[in-house]
Structure 1
């Protein structure tokens, strides 16, 4: 019974957690991540679920489904540009890993056209 109460309390805390404010990342240094292959690879592995995640990586992992499925609908215009820059860099520098990530978050490819339009509109 006590275990059930602990689990229910945990679920209540998680459910009550407000959405992450992704716009706090508007000043995130995307170029630093892209230029540092080791750091970029760590983010890619985090998104794939095969590596450890930083707090920022966890936020990115949480935001990625919205980014892929809804053209980053919760993002500001500036953040959409940063997201597009990261996705394009991942596609170019880690094409196999990006394919794996895309299949993970977009298994049927139904959002490919929407993502292509998003990247075209917001590419730097």
Structure 2
């Protein structure tokens, strides 16, 4: 085998491995929103309500709201299994904000995302955890 043929095969192998690595599903959600200020959201009831309406499909969504809305079902099913530690903290902050400040919207979200209550117990354990 010539040097050129070996180099070409090596290049093809590296490109294939790179394509597989890029196509593989991530173990965690994109950390882009790890710096999202959840406490600021919770402290602004009007803004929190807007996000709630976005998640319920009852109002417009910001780009962040759309991104969060897409992962809510999976995050609920897996009790935030793909969340980074920071994202777990953010989810707990926002959920507790809904529960205390907008309980009606929280109940609507629960009915929309977990109508049978299948994930209620595991999600409550997640909310009360401190990892």
Aligned residues: 107
TM-score normalised by structure 2 residue count: 0.75
**Correspondence 1:23 to 2:36:** no
Instruction: Report the CA distance between 1:22 and its aligned residue.
Output: 3.3
SS in 2 for 1:118: helix
- Deviation per CA, 1:9-52, whole angstroms, max 9, x where unpaired? xxxxxxx9x88943211110111111112111100110111000
**Unpaired stretches in structure 2, ≥5 consecutive residues:** 1-22
**Segments ≥4 residues shifted beyond 4 Å:** 18-21
Larger of the two Rg values belongs to structure: 2
TM-score normalised by structure 1 residue count: 0.79
Matched with 1:102 is: 110
**Aligned equivalents of 1:96, 1:122: Cα separation in 2:** 26
**Contact 1:33–1:40, Cα closer than 8 Å, also in 2:** yes
SS in 2 for 1:73: coil
CA RMSD after TM alignment:
2.0
